[in-house]
Amino acid sequence: MWNGEYDAACRNLSESAAAHRRSGLPSVVAPTLGYLADAEYRAGRWDEAIAHSTQALSLAEDTDHTSMLALTHAVAAYPLAGRREFAAARRHVRCAVEYARQLADANDLAYAMSASQRCPRACGSIRNSSLVLKSASKLRTPTRR
């Protein structure tokens, strides 16, 4: 996905989610659906992105997979903001920021910041961004021994 090959990314992530649902690792399904939603958004497949981000979010909530909540809320906000559904996008951005703050994980913080910046009209202010940055400053950098 990171090289711009969105069709291939969507296909691979869709196949991965299906395989893990059938007989794989159940804990991998929510992250896979989250990344699939991100790839679909980038590919312009907003209907699919909304559907898969909703599934990823529901699955993460139902299985207490809290480490996925910042990512799934962030990617859920992108197509909603693109469709000018600002109230719904704003709720997702706020949740992404809050979960990122709670977990203080660098990846979660990056997704929350991305959602905050991609959806400026949904956010209404830069307050969310400053909260994310404040949380990021509390992260500890691993030290080498």
Taking 80 as the threshold, does the pLDDT of residue 126 lie above it? Answer: no
Evaluate whether residue 142 is within a structural domain.
no
Residue 67 per-residue DSSP state? G
Evaluate whether residue 143 is within a structural domain.
no
Domain of 56 in residue numbering reads as 6-136
Please indicate whether residue 137 or residue 101 has the higher confidence score (pLDDT): 101
**HSE-CB for 109 with a 13 A CA cutoff:** 17
Question: How far is it, in rounded angstroms, from Cα 59 to Cα 57?
Answer: 5
pLDDT of residue 141: 43
Over the stretch 36-70, which tens digit does the pLDDT of each residue have? 999 999 999 999 999 999 999 999 999 888 889 99
Evaluate whether residue 80 is within a structural domain.
yes
Question: Which residue in 1, 39, 32, 35 sits closest to 17, CA to CA?
Answer: 32
Looking at the structure of the chain, the number of domains it has is 1
Evaluate whether residue 51 is within a structural domain.
yes
Taking 70 as the threshold, does the pLDDT of residue 133 lie above it? Answer: no
pLDDT of residue 124: 58
- 22-31, 113-122, 128-137: least confidently modelled range: 128-137
Residues 100 and 70: beta-carbon distance below 8 Å: yes
Over the stretch 68-121, which tens digit does the pLDDT of each residue have? 999 999 999 999 998 989 889 989 999 998 999 888 888 888 888 888 887 766
Evaluate whether residue 144 is within a structural domain.
no
Evaluate whether residue 13 is within a structural domain.
yes
Handedness of CA 82, 86, 91, 97 (dihedral sign): positive
Taking 50 as the threshold, does the pLDDT of residue 143 lie above it? Answer: no
Evaluate whether residue 15 is within a structural domain.
yes
Q: What is the pTM of this model?
A: 0.80
CATH at residue 66: 1.25.40.10
Ramachandran angles phi, psi of 137, nearest 5°? -70, -15
pLDDT of residue 129: 53
**Number of neighbours of residue 71 by Cβ within 10 angstroms:** 30
